[in-house]
Amino acid sequence: CGIFGVVGTSEAANFVALGLHALQHRGQEAGGIVAYEPDLGFNSARRFGYVRDNFTSQKLMETLPGSLAIGHVRYSTAGSKGQTAIRDVQPFFGEFSMGGAAIAHNGNITNADALRRELIERGSIFQSSSDSECIIHLMARSMGRSIPDRMEEALRKVEGAFSVVAMTRTKLIGVRDPLGVRPLVLGKIGSGWALSSETCALDIIGAEFVREIEPGEMVVITPAGVESHFPFRPAKSRFCIFEHVYFSRPDSILGGRSVYETREAIGRELAKEAPVEADLVCPVPDSGTPAAIGYSLESGIPYAMGIIRNQYMGRTFIEPTEQIRNMGVRLKLNVNRALIKGKRVILVDDSVVRGTTSRKIKEMILDAGAAEVHFRIASPPTAWPCFYGVDTPQREKLLAATMSEDEMRDHLGVDSLRFISLDGLYRAVGEAHGRDSDSPQYCDACFSGEYPVAPSDQLEKGFAL
Ligand code: 5GP
Ligand code: SF4
Ligand code: MG
């Protein structure tokens, strides 16, 4: 999901809409905005679909006045069952003795089932099926004397991954979980401030990137300034390495480095680890593009757009059902036949999850008369589900959970298939000595099976580590 908030600018909701539009790649199912204006109080709007189709209507935006607003773009993650209902669309709102508060959450709470059971037993009335709603109920039960105090107390009971953007009547609040699994950045806009999942959304509103919110940090912001707290027990940070590979936008800055640059480095690393003789390097667009450029630069094999993407389709994996996903590849990607015919082609993609995309693409490329097809993948085999906010299917559906690399190659029917090594990926994100196996610098659970936070709800349901 994507989260965004601003304080201290007029028409805050319009800025939030623009920010969410720049974060649309993080969630395309639905979006919501809450704004506060002293005379009119809190107002909210939640809609299915793209930001640009909803939050551009002047009529709607006029219902969201004020200089303080937050918003959320959603895609459903592990644990959520089936289609999103509008009541699951964030931000969530709660009214407390000291006033109202709204929160938007990116990540996934790994003990949400247990918390929900306990809260319901004690009288909480849940409105949604979202794990994020627990935070509001925990805040309601807290005896803290201010909303930030209550939030701190609530979040200390929550396990898993969370980046949160919240607001009261006067304050914008940002929090990252102690491991800092999901991103969150601070920006300055005129006399106000902004919080965003990624820097690309600061750019769109002309805000200046100030810094990342640190793992375990809570910032409480008014137009007058930013107050910083560290309410959690300190821990070694474990940022999601997959943000570098796929999730974040290539024009965002992560850990002081452009995501594009990192992805190009991944491609170079891949070319060193898994060279092959061929005529063309082609990306599976758009997610494989920077890595394909890196592979081409390192290997000297020409880069070409062998597959053309229809820009009007969304990301395939966000399509919720298997059937649509199967069709989705063809609706979205087409082979550039004239270029491919008779060529030995290296295809570079960011990841293989179920293998649906790779299989379809291989068929299309062979239909177009390619002489050979070699897959090069910019991440290690995805053998484990993510329980921290990225939507991966159950373990059984992950190709790499049940097959070796050679078996996957045969299953996909390609001439060769190679994945970047975990160490190679660490080198590409800037860790000169690779992965520290005693104390990994990132979360890489979907590749290694080493979960930095025990997925307790899942373990209770029988998930085996
Ligand atoms: P597959 O078709 O193998 O199930 O999914 C791989 C494709 O989905 C890749 O092209 C990749 O861009 C995209 N994808 C990337 N990350 C994820 C993810 O976390 N989950 C899913 N399901 N697909 C993803
Ligand atoms: Fe990121 Fe994978 Fe960890 Fe999920 S399991 S937070 S996708 S690295
Ligand atoms: Mg892709």
What integer pLDDT is reported at residue 78 of this predicted model? 44
Judge whether 432 lies within some domain: yes
CA 435/CA 442 separation, integer angstroms = 8
Structure token digits, residue 138: 């925990």
- Residue 295 and residue 151 share a domain: no
Nearest residue (by CA) to ligand 1, atom 24, is: 317
- Residue 194 and residue 266 share a domain: no
Judge whether 201 lies within some domain: yes
Judge whether 251 lies within some domain: no
> What phi and psi values does residue 391 have, to the nearest 5 degrees?
-80, 90
CA 3/CA 184 separation, integer angstroms = 8
- Please tell me the distance between residue 266's alpha carbon and the centre of ligand 2 in angstroms: 17
- Please tell me the distance between residue 319's alpha carbon and the centre of ligand 1 in angstroms: 11
Annotated binding residues for [4Fe-4S] cluster, as ranges?
A: 240, 386, 443, 446
- Residue 106 and residue 208 share a domain: yes
- Residue 211 and residue 282 share a domain: no
> What phi and psi values does residue 86 have, to the nearest 5 degrees?
-60, -30
Judge whether 247 lies within some domain: no
Q: How many CB atoms lie within 10 A of CB 461?
A: 10
What integer pLDDT is reported at residue 324 of this predicted model? 63
- Residue 409 and residue 280 share a domain: yes
State the CATH number of the domain containing residue 452.
Answer: 3.40.50.2020
What integer pLDDT is reported at residue 79 of this predicted model? 45
The DSSP line for 208-274 is EEEEEPPTT-EEEEETTEEEEE--S------EEHHIIIIIS-TTSEETTEEHHHHHHHHHHHHHHHS
Answer yes or no: 1 catalytic: yes
CA 295/CA 271 separation, integer angstroms = 5
The DSSP line for 260-312 is HHHHHHHHHHHHHHS----SEEEE-TTTTHHHHHHHHHHH-PPB---EEE-TT
Ligand 2 pocket test target in 386, 420, 426, 442 with most atoms within 8 Å of CB: 386
- Residue 314 and residue 233 share a domain: no
C-alpha distances (whole Å) from 8 to each of 193, 205, 221 are 7, 14, 10
- Which among 23, 16, 68 is positioned nearest to 42, based on CA atoms? 68
Tell me the CA end-to-end span of the chain in Å, nearest whole number.
26
- Residue 388 and residue 418 share a domain: yes
340 alpha-carbon distance from chain centroid: 33
User: pLDDT per position in the chain (465 positions), as tens?
Assistant: 999 999 999 999 999 999 999 999 999 999 999 999 999 999 999 999 999 999 999 999 999 999 999 999 998 764 455 567 899 999 999 999 999 999 999 999 999 999 999 999 999 999 999 999 999 999 999 999 999 999 999 999 999 999 999 999 999 999 999 999 999 999 999 999 999 999 999 999 999 999 999 999 999 999 999 999 999 999 999 999 999 999 999 999 999 999 999 999 999 999 999 999 999 999 999 999 999 999 999 999 999 999 998 887 655 445 556 666 666 677 788 899 999 999 999 999 999 999 988 999 999 999 999 999 999 999 999 999 999 999 888 999 999 999 999 999 999 999 999 999 999 999 999 999 999 999 999 999 999 999 999 999 999 999 998
Structure token digits, residue 246: 């796929």
179 alpha-carbon distance from chain centroid: 16
What integer pLDDT is reported at residue 99 of this predicted model? 95
Full-model pTM: 0.95
> What domain range is 410 assigned to?
258-460
Among the bound ligands, the one closest to the CA of 385: 2
Q: Provide the domain count of the chain.
A: 2
Q: Is 425 exposed, middle or buried (0-12, 13-18, 19+ CB in 10 A)?
A: buried
**Which candidate in 1, 134, 200, 282 is catalytic?**
1
CA 319/CA 328 separation, integer angstroms = 8
Among the bound ligands, the one closest to the CA of 425: 2
- Residue 450 and residue 329 share a domain: yes
Annotated binding residues for Mg(2+), as ranges?
A: 287, 349-350
C-alpha distances (whole Å) from 25 to each of 3, 137, 247 are 12, 29, 8
What integer pLDDT is reported at residue 237 of this predicted model? 97
Structure token digits, residue 61: 């935006």
Residue whose entry in the numeric block shows the structure tokens 């969201």: 64
Judge whether 252 lies within some domain: no
- Which among 461, 273, 329, 332 is positioned nearest to 385, based on CA atoms? 461
Ligand 2, pocket residues at CB < 6 Å: 181, 240-242, 386, 388, 390, 443-446
CA 5/CA 112 separation, integer angstroms = 24
State the CATH number of the domain containing residue 150.
Answer: 3.60.20.10
**At how many degrees (to 10) do helices 356-367 and 322-332 cross?**
40
Sequence letter at residue 153: E
- Residue 213 and residue 151 share a domain: yes
- Residue 305 and residue 232 share a domain: no
- Residue 135 and residue 58 share a domain: yes
Judge whether 74 lies within some domain: yes
- Please tell me the distance between residue 170's alpha carbon and the centre of ligand 1 in angstroms: 40
Judge whether 250 lies within some domain: no
Judge whether 248 lies within some domain: no
Q: Given the DSSP bridges, would you call strands 239-240 and 442-443 parallel, antiparallel or unpaired?
A: parallel
- Residue 216 and residue 272 share a domain: no
Asked if 46 and 31 count as a contact pair (C-beta separation under 8 A), the reply is: yes
CA 79/CA 152 separation, integer angstroms = 25
CA 44/CA 33 separation, integer angstroms = 6
